[in-house]
Amino acid sequence: MKQAKLFAPQGGPIIVSQIENEYNTIQLAFKERGDSYVQWAAKMALSLDTKVPWIMCKQKDAPDPIINTCNGRHCGDTFTGPNGPNKPFLWTENWTAQFRVFGDPPSQRSAEDLAFSIIRFCSKNGTLVNYYMYHGGTNFGRTSSSYTTTRYYDEAPLDEFGLIRQPKWGHLKDAHRAVNLCKRALFSGSPFVQKLGPDQEARVWEQPGTSLCSAFLTNNDTKKPQALRFRGQDYQLPPRSISILPDCKTEVFNSQMITTHHNSRNFVRSVAANKNFNWEMYREVVPDDPGNKLNEPRELYELTKDTSDYAWYITKLDLGRRDLPMKNEILPVLRVASLGHGLHCYVNGKYIGTAHGSKVEKSFVFQKPVEFQAGSNQIALLGFLVGLPDSGAYMEKRYAGPRSITILGLNTGTLDITLNTWSHQVGLDGEKNQIYTQNGFPKVQWVKGGPSEGVTWYKGYFDAPEGDNPVAVKMTGMGKGMVYINGRNIGRYWMSYLSPLKRPTQSEYHIPRSYLQPTMNLIVIVEDEKGDPKDIEIVLVDRDTICGFITEKHLPSVRLFEGKGGKLVALEKDLKPRVELTCPSQKQIVAVEFASFGDPFGACGHYVEGNCTSPVAKQVVEKFCLGKPSCNIPLDTPDLHNKNEACPEMKKTLAIQAKCAFKA
């Protein structure tokens, strides 16, 4: 049993318990009792302790004592609220990004949208927001679900490697600080809504007869900025944004105005680790007749039982000379209709090709021309899975593997060999012999490494990379398979499955430093398509490229305010916009790679000058920042304005990109 304490705005702590049950146990309970999930959960909760409520995600009619909650991106607008007066407003999953699957293009959720959503929820009586995920991670081994990439939720505020992703991390921290400045009003005040326009409103928390007041001004217009007048003052709000006024007067935060710095992730080739892998290879041999025969191919999930991604399906077929086409330019076609996830085809020991489905459409059809011979022919299909089902109803009824195998183009017509009697073998011989370990690899004969087709194992060695930055392996030149480091599986790679952008969904794969020894680290790769390891490299990961992007319209940072004695207090007199840069890990700014004061555009790592810029912008930034671990550059710095007459009437932007490093 797992327990966590939550605190509602009124009253004491609520203990929320979650019982972890095996899927089969739950299924058995359903079959025996005929209960729905909600009824079953309610009975389980009541049987334990009627004073201990359960959380039920996205279940509007959850019976007591279950607390109905919200999962999603915008629960401030989509959640209808708790279905009982004594239940808190809980947002159990605020999706910071979207997990990616192989074949997908990059996906992300902006820091601005996240900030808008949490402030909206808090302004509407929200009690708790739980981020899913706040820290990205790695699906080591075979732990990822169906088609999910090895890198999981990498767009979270803390990325896969535990590095801070800016501005998402900093902007959310600022949003939390701004909401915290309103805590007295949120806990003690009474809420009401004041319409300020067709798509504009103020949500006010106020204690009548006192000065205790906080307001959340919202512009729901997704295209146009709006000027909102509230209690005698004008406030300029960008499209689809919320401004926070902790004292109902001072605007300290707007969800669309990022004042924290940005950063960009770099993958840098290691000097120490890429000296010479000395690659060797071993080709997996297609089994001749592994036994375990049935009339038709077995279902792949049931066959493998999660012990391997792979299973062989093998049959033999006798063909006479008159069965084969007479013309040399005509070849029979082998067609395999499969329920997923993929398969590699071999005929008479020769690799023919590969086909696979997708996350959306797992079924597929493999068909390739094949050179059959007169006499006995072996057809071997290596079915593979890319994770188990992840969600939805009736997961026990998800199927994979070949369901129909036919040969087209024979002189005798189409031949259905689905019921031709098939032998089965779960897993690869290399897996069974554990040739990815120091004790296992001597069991097979290795030869000098090079390009390959079909299932091939590669073995090499590398020294631990220099420094202490996170480590990854870049799988350039490979197709699909898995990587082992010192005998430990770091996950599936799939370089050949390109996104619509014609790029692999994931190219770099995390190697925890705890897996490494100082020298002679064994790397073993099982490549099951086509590949050549000559371009594989070990890389170091950093976020040493930092950026700032602030306009003259920006608010001052919320970090310049604090609550003291129930009042909002400014920590500095100068509350004008400025760019704030901070290097990670006590590094220093060693170079200013881009600086423009005018109308630049782009994103960190890819800024471009616009139609006007100050000719001295880079010099000014270097004066403020070079050799320092952090720096602030005010936008009203005289040199930026005095020497920039190209666009004097424009509200300007200062964009900066700098490089951080340890002092030499």
Catalytically active residues are 22, 93
Distance CA 270, CA 464 (A): 9
Q: Do residues 261 and 170 lie in contact, with contact meaning Cβ atoms separated by under 8 Å?
A: yes
Distance CA 11, CA 104 (A): 46
Query: In the structure encoding, which two tokens stand for residue 337, read together?
Result: 């209709």
Assign 185 to helix, strand or coil: helix
Distance CA 544, CA 587 (A): 8
Using the CB atoms, write b or e for 189-216: b if 16+ within 10 Å.
beeeeeebeeebbbbbbbeeeeebbbbb
Is residue 38 within a helix (H) or strand (E), and if so which, with residue range?
helix 37-48
Distance CA 477, CA 83 (A): 55
Q: Do residues 494 and 386 lie in contact, with contact meaning Cβ atoms separated by under 8 Å?
A: yes
Backbone phi, then psi, for 513, in 5-degree steps? -60, -25
Distance CA 190, CA 80 (A): 19
- For 429-433, which contacts have Cβ atoms below 8 Å and span 24 or more sequence positions? 429/284, 429/285, 429/287, 430/282, 430/284, 430/455, 430/457, 430/526, 431/308, 431/310, 431/526
Distance CA 525, CA 536 (A): 11
Ramachandran assignment for 429, one of left (phi > 0), alpha (psi -120 to 50 degrees), beta (any other): alpha
Torsion of CA 38, 39, 45, 49, to 10 degrees: 150
Backbone phi, then psi, for 560, in 5-degree steps? -90, 10
Q: Do residues 340 and 360 lie in contact, with contact meaning Cβ atoms separated by under 8 Å?
A: no
Matching residue, tokens 């992840």 = 390
Q: Do residues 234 and 228 lie in contact, with contact meaning Cβ atoms separated by under 8 Å?
A: yes
Q: Do residues 517 and 464 lie in contact, with contact meaning Cβ atoms separated by under 8 Å?
A: yes
Q: Which residues contact 161 (CB under 8 A, 6 or more apart)?
A: 470, 472, 510, 541
Q: Do residues 593 and 658 lie in contact, with contact meaning Cβ atoms separated by under 8 Å?
A: yes
Q: Do residues 505 and 158 lie in contact, with contact meaning Cβ atoms separated by under 8 Å?
A: no
Distance CA 458, CA 539 (A): 19
Distance CA 35, CA 61 (A): 16
Distance CA 474, CA 549 (A): 31
Q: Can you give the C-alpha Rg of the chain in angstroms?
A: 31
